[in-house]
Structure 1
Amino acid sequence: MSLPIEAHTALETFNGSLSWEQRARLLMQWGDRLPPMRDDEKTDERLVDGCESKVWLVGDVVDGHWQFRAASDARLIRGLVALLLARVNGLSSQALQQVDLAEWFTKLGLSRQLSASRSNGLNAVLQKMRQLTL
C-alpha cells in the first residue's frame, strides 16, 4: 500500500535514534500543526467515543479521497492524532479499511510509548473514520 506524502514526512521525522523526550517534543509539534477546529464544529456527534481525552473528528471526501480534521484537548493526543491523519488523509474508503494502526506507530518508533488507553483511543479514532466512510 502506498503512503500519503505526509506519512513519508512523518516517517522521516520520527525515524532515527531519537530519545523519548525528543519524540515527545516532535509529537507536540505535530499536534500544534493541526488546523484549528471552530468551537461550533466540536459537537457531541463529532466526539470520538472510547477516548479518555476529548477528540473531535470531521471527515470530508475531496475528489474521491478522504480528508480528516481533528482536535483534542490533550497535547500529546493531538500529536498522535496528527500522525494518524498524516497516515490516512488522501486515502480512498477502501484503502482506509486496510490501515494497520499498530504497524504505523511501530514504523514511527512510537509503539512502546503508547499506553493501552492511548492505543485504545487511537483505535477508536480510526474506527470512527471507518464509520464515516461507510
Structure 2
Amino acid sequence: MATPAFEEIAETFDFLEDWEERYRHVIELGKAMPAMDPALQAPATKVEGCASQVWIMPRITDGRFDFDGDSDALIVRGLVAILHALYSGVPVADVAKIDATSELRRLGLEEHLSAQRSNGLRAMVERIRVLAAAA
C-alpha cells in the first residue's frame, strides 16, 4: 500500500549496493526536503521519544494526510523525508492501515540504525498515526 514516492525510494535502495551509499541517500533525502517554518518547531509539534529533536505538523487537505517535518540531525531529517514519502497524500482513513514496520523493513533500516534511532523512528510513526486519527 506504499505511495509511488515511497516505491521510488525503495527502488533506489535496491539499486544502491551497500549501506554507506544508502546512508548517504537518506541524508540527501533530508537535505532535499523543504525546510519547516521555524515557528512550527514548538513543543506542540515535537515528537517525544527521539534522541534528536523532531517536529511534525500535520496538514489535512481534501481528506488526505500530509505533514511538515524537520529534525536537528541530518540522518533523522532523512528519516522524516522517508516517512513523508510513505504517508503524504494518503487518505486520512488509510494512514492507520499502512504497515510502516513492513514498508521500512524493505529499506533495511532496522539493521543499520542505532537502537535510539530505531526507537525514534517508531515514535515518529506513532505520532503520525495519532495525528491522522485525530484529524
TM-score by length of 1: 0.92
Residue in 2 that maps onto 1:117: 116
Residue in 2 that maps onto 1:58: 57
Moved more, 46-55 or 83-92: 83-92
On the 8 A contact 1:102/1:111 being kept in 2, the answer is no
Residue in 2 that maps onto 1:28: 27
Question: What amino acid sits opposite 1:96 in the alignment?
Answer: V
What's the offset of the Cα at 1:93? 2.4
Residue in 1 that maps onto 2:46: 47
CA distance in 1: counterparts of 2:98 and 2:117, whole angstroms: 17
Residue in 1 that maps onto 2:13: 14
Residue in 2 that maps onto 1:75: 74
What's the offset of the Cα at 1:100? 2.1
What's the offset of the Cα at 1:17? 4.9
Name the structure where helix makes up a greater proportion of residues.
2
CA distance in 2: counterparts of 1:17 and 1:28, whole angstroms: 14
On the 8 A contact 2:56/2:68 being kept in 1, the answer is yes
What's the offset of the Cα at 1:65? 0.6
Moved more, 8-17 or 82-91: 8-17
CA distance in 2: counterparts of 1:103 and 1:113, whole angstroms: 15
Unaligned ranges ≥5, structure 2: none
SS of the residue 1:59 aligns to: strand
Question: What amino acid sits opposite 1:56 in the alignment?
Answer: W
On the 8 A contact 1:93/1:130 being kept in 2, the answer is no
Identity of aligned residues (%): 35
Question: What amino acid sits opposite 2:111 in the alignment?
Answer: R
Deviation track 1:37-72 (CA, whole Å, cap 9, x = no partner) reads 121111111000111100010111112110111000
- In the superposition, relative to structure 1, how do residues 63 and 84 fare at CA in structure 2: closer, same or farther (>3 Å)? same
RMSD: 1.3
CA distance in 2: counterparts of 1:57 and 1:93, whole angstroms: 16
What's the offset of the Cα at 1:10? 0.7
**Is 1:132 equivalent to 2:131 in the alignment?**
yes
